[in-house]
Amino acid sequence: MSGGVDSSVAARLLANQDYDLSAIFMRNWDTRDESGTDKGCEWEKDWDDVQRVCRSLGIPCSMIDLSRQYWNRIFQPALDVWESGSTPNPDVWCNREIKFGALLEHLPVDPNTGTSWFATGHYARKRWSLSGRPQLLSAKDQIKDQAYYLSSISEQGLARALFPLGDLTKVQVRELARTYQLETAERPESMGLCFVGERGKFSHFLNSYLKPNPGPIIDLTTQKIIGQHGGLWTYTIGEKAKISGQSLKTYVCRKDPIKNAVYVVPGGNHQALLEHRVICTDWKWIWSDSPPAGFRCSVKVRHRQESQSCTAKLAHDGALEIVPDEALRGVSPGQVAALWDGDWCLGCDVHKARRPQMRPHKQAQPLQDTIETLDKKAKEWQWW
């Protein structure tokens, strides 16, 4: 439980059922800054809300401090990625490494079955295939759907997961919270990365951890320097570039960490903003059986982005190349690309800034729609 309305309603729904239920609160971030104050995420308030809700539900709750694991596994690697000019998504890897990693390792198990269920307030769904394997599905509420953020978790972690909110909309969840008279019913929705909290602009937050590294802003069309940046992390590919003294609207199309340069183009529809291939070198399938190379599916590179039809191919070095039917706009190295078969999420990885040569491949085939056929083929799937 996080102290928000979603996890509170999830707990209430489970409390109505025949579960031996207990709640756990993760402290992932130490908000004390160098001055000794405690600002930002204000985890104590979240913990207080969790305790109040649990008291009203009559269930025990406990807190686990995973701030060290979060710093080492999520935040420090993300800082390195930002500093290099790429754009990480810490929330995706937090689910893999922390919620469905370090936290799951600490949870008690039933002595009879050797396992336990792990419920969260995510807007996502799970179903079982005919052979008894778990599948991650999009939520009913497409606006709040969070399956993208869960796309990196393993099959073993997904098997233990429960998503009580998967078939509900946010409006319904809020109404249920009021009906159940939960203390968090009117709590505002949290937005953005948890470790930024109320600290202000994201770039200012990063500036407190990364040393200034100024460099040129270059117009890609003229190759002229038109401004200066304070660090590659201060600009994001695809976004409007704010350049002092420039009236022309320009957009970031590329960043060069070797030259420490940010490249921009005029207008938001420039061809340089389009990405025709997404390259992934360490793909993480939720099912460990990798699908056949050259299959048809759909891809998302952002949360809330409508999935786009694509073909997934295998590069000569084992990397996965995703070729969308229509070019994607503003894709940055480090962004997470997730593949889908309909509403079934297959897995994800980060986009790399390279263009490998492709081995010759057969014409892409659609991934079979029936789960029964997929189960039969699962053991046969291999790279060719």
d(CA 323, CA 309): 9
Structural Rg of the chain based on CA atoms: 22
Q: What's residue 193's pLDDT?
A: 64
60 and 24 Cβ atoms separated by less than 8 Å: no
Three-state DSSP state, 333: coil
d(CA 75, CA 107): 23
Residue 118 identity (one-letter amino acid):
F
Closest to 111 in 3D by CA, of 20, 42, 1, 242: 20
Strand pairing of 261-266 and 336-341?
unpaired
- Looking at the structure, tell me whether residues 225 and 282 fall in a common domain: no
Q: Any idea what the CATH number is for the domain that residue 280 is in? A: 2.40.30.10
- Looking at the structure, tell me whether residues 217 and 241 fall in a common domain: yes
| Positions marked catalytic | 94, 194
User: Which tens digits make up the pLDDT trace of 293-334?
Assistant: 688 999 999 998 899 999 998 877 878 999 999 999 999 999
The arithmetic mean of pLDDT across residues 44-56, rounded, is 95
- Looking at the structure, tell me whether residues 366 and 346 fall in a common domain: yes
User: Which tens digits make up the pLDDT trace of 69-112?
Assistant: 999 999 999 999 999 999 999 999 999 999 999 999 888 888 77
- Looking at the structure, tell me whether residues 16 and 104 fall in a common domain: yes
User: Which tens digits make up the pLDDT trace of 66-81?
Assistant: 999 999 999 999 999 9
Q: Any idea what the CATH number is for the domain that residue 231 is in? A: 2.30.30.280
Q: What are the phi and psi torsion angles at 72 (to 5°)?
A: -75, -40
- Looking at the structure, tell me whether residues 263 and 298 fall in a common domain: no
- Looking at the structure, tell me whether residues 173 and 70 fall in a common domain: yes
**Distance set, CA 117 to CA 4, 14, 159, 161, 251 (Å):** 21, 11, 9, 6, 46
- Looking at the structure, tell me whether residues 334 and 374 fall in a common domain: yes
- Looking at the structure, tell me whether residues 9 and 108 fall in a common domain: yes
Boundary residue ending a domain (273, 289, 314): 273
Q: What are the phi and psi torsion angles at 279 (to 5°)?
A: -110, 125
315 DSSP 8-state letter: B
251 and 235 Cβ atoms separated by less than 8 Å: no
- Looking at the structure, tell me whether residues 36 and 174 fall in a common domain: yes
Provide the domain count of the chain. 3
Q: Residue 246: give the domain boundaries.
A: 213-273
User: Which tens digits make up the pLDDT trace of 351-374?
Assistant: 986 443 333 334 455 555 434 445
d(CA 11, CA 15): 6
Q: What's residue 288's pLDDT?
A: 83
Q: What's residue 200's pLDDT?
A: 53
- Looking at the structure, tell me whether residues 285 and 250 fall in a common domain: no
Kindly state whether residue 78 falls inside one of the protein's structural domains: yes
Boundary residue ending a domain (254, 273, 292): 273
- Alpha helices by DSSP H, listed for the chain, are 5-15, 43-57, 67-70, 76-83, 90-94, 104-106, 155-159, 170-179, 202-207, 371-378
d(CA 280, CA 261): 24
pTM, full prediction: 0.87
Q: What's residue 109's pLDDT?
A: 81
308 and 299 Cβ atoms separated by less than 8 Å: yes
